[in-house]
Structure formats: structure tokens, C-alpha cells
Amino acid sequence: MAKTILDNYQNWLHLSDMPDNKRRLIEATITLYAQQGIAATSVSQIAQQAGLSKALFFKLFHTKDEVTMALIQPVFDHVLPSFTEDFYNNFIEQASLEDLIRFIVFNRYAFLSENREIVLIFLSEFLTNQTLRSDFLSYLVKHSDSFHQVMHVFQEKNTKLNTSISQSTLMMAIVSQLFFLFLETNLWGQPLSKEEESVRLEEMVQLVSTGITG
């Protein structure tokens, strides 16, 4: 099985020079958020899970929001860049426009599913946390060159690409559908079988392929 963000994050966490008690609190936060969600997790539970006192928690982190950001921020800084590089290197090997779209759809949905815990934590905080939204936008700007390289491959491999569709609109068409399916199967409804999941993703491929050519 391929390594997930959480695997890479745990590796980074143990290799960093972070104080042991702080690391234990972050690991406890990951465990509890994955088990019961952010809203249902209290500072007392995090401290108890870490085997530390509530007073020590507040010495190291002033609020639950602060420990949540301490969990998410390193994902941007240390973990995601390696995943974006791996993604791009595989992406450029695809042969046709439909292959490119299929690779994005299936690969990124697998990425979301394999990193379910971190993705759900991120989405929950993203809606209410202005700092996280700003940090994420900064991350996107920092990695905008990779996005333009992806779009250049799109344009090179298909002369029928509708040039009236902007780069941001094209990517949003794919990303929004991926997130909707992810939320539908992980929060709003019943999980899909692998066969049902593949059918839904292939429908997405055909919809996007039809919509961006002309």
C-alpha cells in the first residue's frame, strides 16, 4: 500500500525536533479527530489520550484551534509537496486528453480516500478558520508553477481543448466533483463498493471530457 499523508506526517513528526509532550498531544489529537471528529473532541480528552495533564496542554497550546493548526500546517510545509511532485511525474506520462482526465480523477480520488482523516480535519477547519484558508491560498500560489505545467500538458496533448475555458475553471470542474463525491460517501451517505465507485468516477471522466472539448 502506498504511503498516505498521515504516514508521511507521522514520519516527519518523529524526525522533527519537537518537544516530546507537544508531539504526544498532536498524535492524540490525530487519533481522537479521526475517531470522533473535531467538534466532539475536547481539550480534556486530548490531554487524557496523550497521558498528560490539561494544565500542560494549555502551557503548550492555548486553545484547541492552536493544536489543530499545529497538526495541519506541517502538512502544507513538509508533506504535500512530495505528493504533488509524485502526481505530476505520473501525470505527464498519460497519452491522451481522456487519459489525462481519467488519471486526475481516479488518482486524486484515491488520494482523498487514502488520506480520509486528514482531509476531513482540513475540510472541517477550512470552512471556519480564516488562518487556514490564508495558509492554503499561500500554498497554492507557491505551487502555481506545477499547476501551469499540468495545464501545458493538457494543451499539448489535445488540440480540441476549448480555449475559452480558463485554467481555473477546468481544474475547479474536476476538483469540485471529486470533493462532492468524497463528502457524499464519507459524510452524507453510505460508502460505495469499489465497483460503484469506479462507475461514478468514470461518469465524471466522461462528463469533464465532453465539457472541455469543442
User: Which region among 29-33, 34-38, 180-184 has the lowest average model confidence (pLDDT)?
Assistant: 34-38
Mean of pLDDT values over 72-101: 70
The pLDDT score that the predictor gives to residue 150 is: 66
The pLDDT score that the predictor gives to residue 145 is: 65
Specify whether the CB–CB gap between 68 and 125 falls below 8 A. Answer: yes
More confident residue, 182 or 144: 182
* pLDDT reading at 193 higher than 70: yes
* pLDDT reading at 183 higher than 80: yes
Q: Which residues contact 126 (CB under 8 A, 6 or more apart)?
A: 132, 133, 136
pLDDT per residue as tens digits for the range 109-131: 887 887 777 777 777 777 777 87
Confidence of residue 1 (pLDDT cuts 50, 70, 90): very low
Query: Which cell numbers in the block locate residue 204?
Result: 465524471
* pLDDT reading at 57 higher than 70: yes
